[in-house]
Structure 1
Amino acid sequence: MRNGNSRTADKFVIRLPDGVRSRVEDAAKADHTSMNTFIVQAVEEKLARPTRQALLLESPQQVNAATRLIGWRTSDYLMETADQATAQDWSVHYQILPIFEGDANTKLPGGLAEVSA
């Protein structure tokens, strides 16, 4: 809704699996936003992942200086690595996500050196 007019914005009806609507509603409330905004942001984030992933694999030192990139994980959280070559190999077969220092979801040991190209 770039033009700010909901009457002319593209519309798309989606079917959500059981329980997902209430999860989206709860998350949107916690984020102090509408369900529509929450869903649009989630879709935009998902669409941006391949570009972000490619940038991180090519130049991890360009990541925000406030947080250090310490590794990568597959999107299903089953595999993690701090090795860039392994992450690049995964990228052909799996969607991979960056792991930043302080990420509570990681299983990588603490104190890893910053990943560098």
Structure 2
Amino acid sequence: MAFEDLDVWKRAARLSSDIYTNMRELKDYSFKDQITRSSLSVPSNIAEGIERATDKEKMRFLSIAKGSAAELRTQIYIGMDISYISKDIGTKWIKETKELSAMLVGLIKSIKAVN
């Protein structure tokens, strides 16, 4: 299976692009760097995991992607609290990170089931 064919990767990549676009003008470079890097980590770890040779490695990287989604969600909450992220956009991103996490759990379970 190619990572480009996975809906979870496609959605994570779109979310990362959306975050980069929306954070473009933010002057707090430290916050911007952290949130964009965590958003980029989700699809990147999905891709790296799927390309790994063993199921154990695949699950490890998918688990890292899930952790990055939680990190990203935390940063979104904080960004909303300090008015860097609008409530509408933040709420949409929070929902997407939760759905991505659930999709990753399902993908990990499907890999485990094969063994």
Instruction: Please indicate, yes or no, whether the TM-score normalized by the shorter chain is above 0.5.
Output: no
The structure with the larger Rg is 1
Higher strand share: 1
Give TM-score scaled by structure 2 length.
0.30
Higher helix share: 2
Higher RCO structure (Cα 8 Å, ≥6 apart)? 2
Give TM-score scaled by structure 1 length.
0.29
